[in-house]
Structure 1
Amino acid sequence: MKAVPWRDGATELRRLLIDADQDPGLIQDPERAWAVFRDFLAIPLDGLFDRWDGDEDADTLVVVYGGGPVRLVRRFTVAAVEWTGGEPGEDVEPDEEQEDLDLADTVQIELEMIFESDPGEADEGFWTAEHSAGFLPEDLDEAAALVAGLGLGTPIRSAVTLTTA
């Protein structure tokens, strides 16, 4: 499958949702939205994961639910780097005062769905890929069962976002 630059990840997710007849701002079918998100997880994102030789938790699926919106998140946590103009730069070399700091940067692409009902107590599930887009089928099946088990109905609002921190 052709890789997409990480900065275009949210745009690609929006495009996939639209192709599946789902408005990214008002999802009507959470099961179809999950299927689209699962397809999105199969698309390698260039420019983050392979850059740091596996020294970080990269390309992680996170399903967050309860106590607020349901969020399907594709998260990359990468070794601390300097960011210039929104692009990751060189690895940060800690000085003597920073030696004990566990620094990292996070990039995440998120599909958030807000429902009238709430699935209860806040929780989340995590699954990490071996490489960009390398999620195990059994992990995706487990995440799909979690999402389907929430049974929340139709969202009243949704959004696709790209954040860096």
Structure 2
Amino acid sequence: MTGWLTGKRARIEGDSPAIRAAIQAAGAALVAGGDCDIWVHVAPPTAVKPAHELTHAEWRASLDTGLDRRFLGARDFADACRARGQGGAILFVGAPGQALGADQAAAAGALGNLTKTLGVEWARDGIRVNSILTRETGDTLGHLAAYLVSDYAAYVTGAVMGIALDD
């Protein structure tokens, strides 16, 4: 994977040591802000509650974290790419929602549709949008993430992928 991302700047929101390590190993410079070529959003883990115990505020908070913030961040990234006249890569990473409660399932389902829609809509601007839905946190996740944001995946956009956990 050495050199896949040489010359690229990547901003990673959220915590994933495996993704950080793989993207750096592939040659990208990690940046905290400003212009970047790659934006990765890693969803924070959230509490699981049965649907009948969810308050409206908890429901809205899950949708805000799992969908709204991701859309707004992606929109801002895409606007910056267009202003520079360059494409870019967006990657959403998080757990598959079906196993984590109705609120998170709704956010994950909407994120899948958002990924597909933005992947098609923004392809004309050279901006790729993909998602990885998994609870995997190790090297496999990091390597897949680095691949999806690299030029080797230049024709991959709107994809929602998963990684099965090794038991």
Band of TM-score, shorter chain: 0.3 to 0.5
Instruction: Considering Cα pairs closer than 8 Å and 6+ residues apart, tell me whether 1 or 2 has the greater RCO.
Output: 1
User: Which structure dedicates a bigger proportion of its chain to helix?
Assistant: 2
TM-score normalized by the length of structure 2:
0.32
TM-score normalized by the length of structure 1:
0.33
User: Which structure dedicates a bigger proportion of its chain to strand?
Assistant: 1
Query: Of the two, which has the highest radius of gyration?
Result: 1
